[in-house]
Amino acid sequence: MINITFPDGNVKQFEPPTTGFAVAASISEGFARNCVAMEINGALVDLSTPIKNDAAVSFLTTKDADAVEILRHSAAHVMAQAIVNLYPNAKLTIGPTVENGFYYDIDMEPISEDDFPKIEAEIKKIIKAKIPIVRREVSKEDALEFYKDEPYKLEMIQALDDGTISFYSQGEFTDLCRGPHVPNTGYVKAIKLMKVSGAYWRADPANPQLQRIYGTAFFDKKELNAYLNFLEEARKRDHRKIGAALDLFSFHDEAPGMAFFHPNGMEIWNALLAYWREEHRAAGYVETKTPIILNRSLWETSGHWENYRENMYTVVIDDTESAIKPMNCPGGMLLYKQRRHSYKDLPLRAAEVGLVHRHELSGVLSGLFRVRAFHQDDAHIFMTPDQIKDEILGVLRLVDRMYKTFGLGFHLELSTRPKKSIGSDAQWESATSGLSQALDAYGMDYKINEGDGAFYGPKIDIHIKDAIGRTWQCGTIQLDMSLPERFDLSYVGADNDRHRPVMIHRVIFGSIERFLGILIEHFAGKFPLWMAPVQVVILPINDDLSPFAEELHRAFEDAGLRSSVDDRTESLKKKIREAQLNQIPLIITAGEKERDSKTLSVRTLDGKVRFGVSVDAFIKSAQENIRARKLELDMLGD
């Protein structure tokens, strides 16, 4: 008999060899039906794996997040089998899982999404058959013989070490794979093909172009439908579409990956920066500005010339090689060195909204989310070692205030020392301890990413969550033990000796362009009043009322409200509809009644209309809403 120990500490005995199926069934048949894979002594394996000796066993069920990845890996095999059935000349390469799904790269005739129904019909046949998915291990020699007519699999096997190689078969279909997989194809109940694109084998343009077919899979059709609805909502919120519809920004071939901001976009941009400056002044920051072009010697000192040059734009000025800055940090080091510092000057919080340029490949450019020219809301905080905890706490509190203003939740992750790093053990211990102590004092749960820090220091990454639940990594707080050393930064301590300052890099918005793109999608273009490009539009119902509309416009502008007059010869109904489509928060109808009574008819985007509102009350309410930067439009106390 062998002893199987369960996660709760209970032990059961079984005749050897046994399998995960048998062990799970001993708990209950219902439990066994929901099991997908198991861990034996911490190793993730198929349920059919023989258990021959005493072992600690735990199960992954359809409710576990890791089980979904196993399902999607199996779904990739099911899709590949369907494609090989329909396209016998297809040659398979790799089919990994990715975030929210999977893909398979296949050398085959070009297909489009019009072919998906045919492929999905074949997939359904394979799922309905509930074909067992069986693992077997073969020698490398046998694997090479099996795949002698499959050039991509052959290349992959040749690159593997000698020894056994695992295959997975489902009926007549076999694929090279480590596993594990679900027990049979019937587990893949909810699957959907999403898109197809081109991809080069090994990402090398010299190699053949393959068809990359993406899909997703869930254990439950309701989960699949919820995901598809989520994608539809995300498509509606696409910042590129909304940006064009609201006339915020554009891109042009004359400057690939570099956004052109229109007047409406600049209104939002300026509102964001005004808020950023207000919060930073209150938090004790000074604002600086450094040049865009700096010569090669600076980038050699910082290490960028050696490690980052392929992403930098360079230029020769007065026979000296220079670079357009990809980041603001080295310029900030020069500013710190401009004068002598005492420990009494610290902490020194220097912020900069700096324009940086990075050469991104054209294939990864994506609206405002991935650009070649962008503004970073950097800050460099120089401090003594005993100030680390308080300064990190100060940044976290600033982050909390600023993100809450936009209705954004967030979570925190602490990344520790990687294998390749600089600095002594004592420096890393002190820096990591300072970050973790600050996080503990802040009181929010955080995740630890072991070994995922920057080579020059540990960091805190701040991941925001938008209105539809997507997460975005924007803010970061990094302790740097490299640049103060490279630039020989110092301060005079209380002992009158020179000491090396501790330095924090931090951003909150990150890239302002990217953050704006996130906000466009977060608000779906329906910005809070304080951010809206046009806050008030006045609609005179005929030409005779245009003077009254202009009078209101001047009053609103004098009060600091961004307003406009729509006096086109269109129907009032059409102008109201267009104002709503343009997401203008406050729509004023100017009729004879309003002119004579000196009142307003105010329509808001929630469909409510308020009549007889005095001009003074309207202005005061709008100003208070803007001053408080409220998320909701609570006009006139509603």
Taking only the tens place, the pLDDT of each residue in 258-272 is: 999 999 999 999 999
Confidence of residue 637 (pLDDT cuts 50, 70, 90): low
pLDDT at 162: 84
Q: Looking at the DSSP assignment, which residues form a beta bridge with residue 215? A: 102, 193
Predicted confidence band of residue 546 (pLDDT cuts 50, 70, 90): very high
Pair 74, 30 in one domain = no
Question: Which H or E run includes 573?
Answer: helix 572-581
The CATH number linked to 141 is 3.30.980.10
Q: Is 447 exposed, middle or buried (0-12, 13-18, 19+ CB in 10 A)?
A: exposed
Whether 353 and 473 share a structural domain: yes
Q: Are residues 74 and 216 in the same domain?
A: yes
Q: Are residues 76 and 52 in the same domain?
A: no
pTM of the complete model: 0.84
Residue 422, pLDDT score = 72
Instruction: State whether 452 and 388 are in the same domain.
Output: yes
**597 domain residue, yes or no:** yes
278 and 420, same domain (yes or no): yes
482-509 mean pLDDT:
93
Residue numbers of the domain that contains 38: 2-61
What average pLDDT score do residues 440-463 get? 89
Cα-based distances in Å from 271 to 208, 265, 405, 508: 49, 10, 13, 16
Q: Could you tell me if 498 and 589 lie in one domain?
A: no
Confirm whether 316 is domain-assigned: no
Count how many domains the chain has.
4
Q: How confident is the model at residue 426 (pLDDT cuts 50, 70, 90)?
A: confident
Examine the domain organization and report whether 51 and 72 are in the same domain: no
User: Which amino acid type is present at position 207?
Assistant: N
Q: What is the pLDDT of residue 638?
A: 53
The CATH number of residue 344's host domain is: 3.30.930.10
Distance, in Å, from the CA atom of 326 to the CA atom of 372, rounded to the nearest integer, reads 9
Read off φ and ψ for residue 518, nearest 5 degrees: -65, -45
CA of 562: how far to CAs of 206, 249, 520, 541, 602, in Å? Answer: 54, 19, 19, 21, 16
What's phi and psi for 251, nearest 5 deg?
A: -125, 150
- Asked whether the predicted pLDDT for residue 513 surpasses 90, the reply is yes
Distance in angstroms (rounded) separating the CA atoms of residues 184 and 475: 43
Q: Which residues are catalytic?
A: 329, 358, 376, 378, 380, 459, 505
Q: What is the pLDDT of residues 105-130, one digit of tens each?
A: 999 999 999 999 999 999 999 999 99
* Angle of CA points 153, 154, 160, to nearest 5°: 90
As a whole-number percent, the residues of the chain with pLDDT over 70 amount to 99
The rounded distance, in Å, linking the Cα atoms of 185 and 494 is: 71
CB 182 within 8 A of CB 74: yes
Instruction: Give the pLDDT band (50/70/90) at residue 430.
Output: confident
**Long-range contacts of residues 89-96, Cβ cutoff 8 Å, at least 24 apart:** 91/150, 91/151, 91/152, 92/150, 92/152, 92/153, 92/175, 93/152, 93/153, 93/156, 93/201, 93/210, 94/152, 94/156, 95/175
What amino acid occupies position 561? L
- Indicate whether 259 belongs to any domain: yes
Distance CA 282, CA 505 (A): 19
Per-residue pLDDT tens over the stretch 575-622:
999 999 999 999 999 999 999 999 999 999 988 999 999 999 999 999
Confidence of residue 429 (pLDDT cuts 50, 70, 90): confident
Strands (E) across 266-385 are located at 286-287, 293-295, 313-317, 320-324, 348-357, 373-383
Stretch 304-308: mean pLDDT, rounded?
85
Question: Is residue 228 located within the same domain as residue 192?
Answer: yes
Start-to-end Cα distance in the chain: 73
